[in-house]
Amino acid sequence: MEVIVLKNVVLLALPGVTPFEFGVICEVFGIDRSDMGGPTFDFTIATAEPGPVRTSLGYDMIIDADLSAAASADLIAVPAHAIGPVDERYLEVIRAAAARGAWVLSVCSGAFALAQAGVLDGRRATTHWMHADRLAAEYPATEVDPDVLFVEDGNIVTSAGTAAGIDAALHIVRVELGASATNVIARRMVVPPQRDGGQSQYIQSPVAPVFADSFATVTDWMLENIAQELTVDQLARKALMSSRTFARRFRADMGTTPSAWLNRQRIIRAQQLLEETDASLETVAQETGFGTASVMRHHFLKVLQTTPTAYRRAFCVRQPA
């Protein structure tokens, strides 16, 4: 297989395409963010028969490019679409991309097109939970996991419904281009915090969450002093509240405890340092408030199910050839 460096992205517009999932791919890969220091992709929307393509909502999109645009794509994206037989021309594009080592990404029911193409045989995959049983029944050679946001198996990435496509797309950007590029896209999109739920992938919120207004000053201060040992009493004084009131209101407004929120931000910052610097594990642990490498390792194993060393090896920023 060739070594793929993510630049050329082709989004397939299949008949019955769903607008939201289609828009997710356009939002991540189709916008020029170079003015913010972000990546710019050669982005093309292609279809088998150029012209009107009917969406799931009953209106048409006019697509000019045919499938020849996909021949040299570094990433082929297949959004959700009406489940059913897929035109063989799309399946050939998917097979060819998978065979040459390009990324192949599906969002929601787009996994059915990948399964029809045969690229999910012997692989682990996911789709929207509503369709998971059907995918598993119709394609028994595929191991379907209905409990995750996305699955990366080799160069094939399948995602669950709706916003999980954002998680999967940003994951590919992160693997290929590193944390900085991902952060620019995520900030522009105002991506919410990574959802918890026992996910085993290395998918964390690439930027700090959108804060409740009442805690913006405190959370900003927490991020600025993340290397320090911060107590609830300190944070409460900063918020001009009693410790008990602060803890109760923080959980109500932010959806988690102050310590859990801070721990997640420390992990996010540690991920970025591991990806972008050669700093030792002890240095990263000190700069992110974990104190020691062993404590940081404990939290990585608990949250990401991997070690800092393994994370760095998998996600260090690649230098252009």
Q: Catalytic amino acids?
A: 108
Helix 243-254 crosses helix 258-276 at what angle (to 10 degrees)? 60
Q: How far is CA 6 from CA 105, 120, 177, 249, 311, in A?
A: 13, 22, 8, 43, 20
Report residue 69 as tokens: 């645009």
Please choose, from the candidates 315, 236, 228, 305, the residue with its C-alpha nearest in 3D space to the C-alpha of residue 271. Answer: 315
Helix 308-315 crosses helix 293-303 at what angle (to 10 degrees)? 70
Torsion of CA 42, 46, 51, 56, to 10 degrees: -120
How far is C-alpha 26 from the geometric centre of its chain's CA atoms?
Answer: 14
The whole-angstrom separation of Cα 288 and Cα 229 is 10
Phi, psi (rounded to 5 degrees) for 180: -60, -45
Please choose, from the candidates 160, 60, 146, 65, the residue with its C-alpha nearest in 3D space to the C-alpha of residue 109. Answer: 160
- Specify the amino acid at residue 287: E
The whole-angstrom separation of Cα 307 and Cα 23 is 35
